[in-house]
């Protein structure tokens, strides 16, 4: 028994120790936490890369943490609490929930840690009620992006389309803004009807399933707008499975590498490009200013771009 316990404990210790290669406590660089929604999405991986490059350049010690699942606000809150304990000088965060995250931000405020929000805005009312002040917001305007996508659809269909929409997780500011933008852009085109709009929760496999079901119910859908590329890529598979490749236009959001490949191959029509690595970079640059006590603008907008086959060729 005793032997077993020793083995167990040794294994535990070894597993913890072996993971501890990245813990230099000695540097006098300011330590900054970058808390992402998740790291199993190319968008956030790109954001991390941009942030890391800026951090290396500007002499910031960056600690990147993320929840295992994008929707896990409680885990994000735990990470924030834990990072505060390590004496971070600033918190950069992409909130998993616009309102829920406020409780975590309160903890940062209590510890006098300046907060910089990236990608997803914090609910202003909830933040004001809790007395949370954020230094700045870095992101792209999702509403404008949705409008860009909508205008593109009007353009390429000649103002005549039956549209199916794949939504993100309901209640997420990011997805809701994109949808609002899209709907606002197409509402003046009388020939464009949104026949179905359903959540596929940002995920590729759900994009496949939900769109497959949509096609069953509405076989005459000729255009898809997906609030993210992962869902769009799922929809493309569903279109292929139904033997309708090329007959349904797919417009996505994020311009992921896979989406660009699909656009080049002609299975996808277009995607709204955000620049997550730019966001990461701008966030870290803002952090440095905030630590120096400089005043920051209320929001820092990163550009958006429509990626189409033509724009890919031009590059």
Partner 1 sequence: MTRSSRLTHARQFGTVLGLVVLSSVLWALTPHFLTVPNLLNVAQQTSINAIVAVGMTFVIISGGIDLSVGSIVALSGVALGAALQGGQALPVALAIALGIGVTCGLVNGAIISWGGLPPFIVTLGMMSIVRGAALVFTEGRPVSSFDPLFRSLAAGQLGGVPAPVIATMAVYLVAHVVLTRTTFGRYVYAIGGNEEATRLAGVSVRFHKTMIYAVSGLVSAMAAVILTARLNSAQPIAGTMYELDAIAATVIGGTSLMGGEGSLAGTLVGALIMGVLRNGLNLLGVSSFLQQIVIGAVIIGAVLIDTVLKRHRN
| One residue of 63, 144, 222, 237 binding partner 1 per CB under 8 A | 63
| One residue of 60, 64, 92, 259 binding partner 1 per CB under 8 A | 64
| One residue of 170, 191, 266, 297 binding partner 1 per CB under 8 A | 170
Q: Does 5 engage in binding with partner 1 (CB under 8 A)? A: yes
Maximum alpha-carbon separation in the chain = 78
Compute the radius of gyration of the chain from its Cα atoms. Answer: 22
Least distance (Å) from partner 1 to the CB of residue 125? 8
- 8 A C-beta contact, residue 302 and residue 275: yes
What separation, in Å, do the N-terminal and C-terminal C-alpha atoms of the chain show?
A: 66
Query: Helices (DSSP H) in the chain: which residue ranges?
Result: 2-18, 42-58, 73-85, 101-110, 124-130, 142-157, 173-186, 204-217, 229-241, 257-265, 276-292, 309-314
The stretch near partner 1 (CB under 8 A) out of 3-11, 142-150, 155-163, 274-282 is: 3-11
Buried b (16+ CB within 10 A) or exposed e, 242-255: eeeeeebbbbbbbb
CA nearest neighbour of 205 among 229, 237, 234, 241:
234
SS3 of residue 55 by DSSP? helix
- The smaller minimum CB distance to partner 1, of residues 1 and 313, is found at 1
CA dihedral 12, 14, 16, 22 (to 10 degrees): 180
Q: Does 171 engage in binding with partner 1 (CB under 8 A)? A: yes
- 8 A C-beta contact, residue 184 and residue 150: yes
- The smaller minimum CB distance to partner 1, of residues 66 and 306, is found at 66
The stretch near partner 1 (CB under 8 A) out of 14-22, 182-190, 222-230, 243-251 is: 14-22
Between residue 32 and residue 51, which ones bind partner 1 under the rule CB under 8 A? 39
Q: Does 87 engage in binding with partner 1 (CB under 8 A)? A: yes
- 8 A C-beta contact, residue 253 and residue 235: no
Q: Does 131 engage in binding with partner 1 (CB under 8 A)? A: no
Q: Does 213 engage in binding with partner 1 (CB under 8 A)? A: no
The stretch near partner 1 (CB under 8 A) out of 78-86, 181-189, 217-225, 257-265 is: 78-86
Q: Does 82 engage in binding with partner 1 (CB under 8 A)? A: yes
Q: Does 65 engage in binding with partner 1 (CB under 8 A)? A: yes
| One residue of 56, 81, 188, 257 binding partner 1 per CB under 8 A | 81
- The contact set with partner 1 (CB under 8 A) reads 1, 4-5, 8-9, 11-13, 15-17, 19-20, 22-23, 25, 39, 63-69, 71-74, 77-79, 81-83, 85-87, 97, 99-100, 102-103, 123, 125-126, 129-130, 169-171, 199
């Amino acid at each position: 028994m005793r032997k077993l316990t020793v083995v167990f404990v040794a294994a535990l210790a070894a597993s913890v120790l072996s993971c501890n290669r990245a813990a230099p406590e000695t540097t006098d660089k300011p330590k900054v936490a970058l808390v992402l929604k998740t790291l199993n999405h190319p968008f956030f991986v790109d954001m991390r890369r941009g942030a890391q490059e800026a951090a290396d350049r500007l002499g910031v010690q960056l600690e990147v943490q993320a929840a295992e699942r994008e929707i896990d606000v409680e885990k994000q809150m735990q990470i924030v609490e834990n990072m505060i304990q390590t004496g971070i000088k600033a918190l950069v965060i992409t909130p998993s929930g616009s309102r829920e995250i406020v409780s975590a931000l309160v903890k940062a405020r209590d510890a006098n840690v300046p907060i910089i929000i990236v990608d997803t805005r914090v609910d202003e009312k909830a933040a004001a009620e809790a007395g949370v002040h954020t230094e700045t917001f870095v992101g792209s305007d999702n509403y404008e992006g949705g409008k860009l996508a909508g205008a593109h659809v009007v353009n390429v269909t000649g103002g005549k389309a039956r549209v199916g929409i794949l939504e993100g997780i309901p209640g997420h500011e990011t997805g809701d803004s994109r949808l609002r933008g899209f709907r606002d852009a197409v509402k003046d085109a009388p020939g464009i009807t949104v026949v179905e709009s359903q959540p596929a929760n940002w995920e590729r496999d759900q994009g496949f399933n939900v769109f497959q079901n949509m096609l069953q119910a509405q076989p005459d859908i000729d255009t898809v707008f997906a609030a993210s590329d992962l869902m769009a890529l799922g929809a493309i598979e569903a279109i292929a499975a139904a033997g309708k490749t090329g007959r349904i236009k797919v417009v996505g959001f994020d311009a992921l590498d896979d989406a660009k490949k699909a656009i080049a191959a002609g299975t996808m029509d277009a995607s709204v490009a955000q620049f997550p690595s730019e966001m990461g970079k701008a966030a870290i640059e803002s952090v440095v200013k905030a630590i120096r006590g400089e005043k920051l603008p209320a929001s820092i907008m990163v550009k958006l771009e429509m990626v189409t086959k033509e724009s890919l060729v031009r590059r």
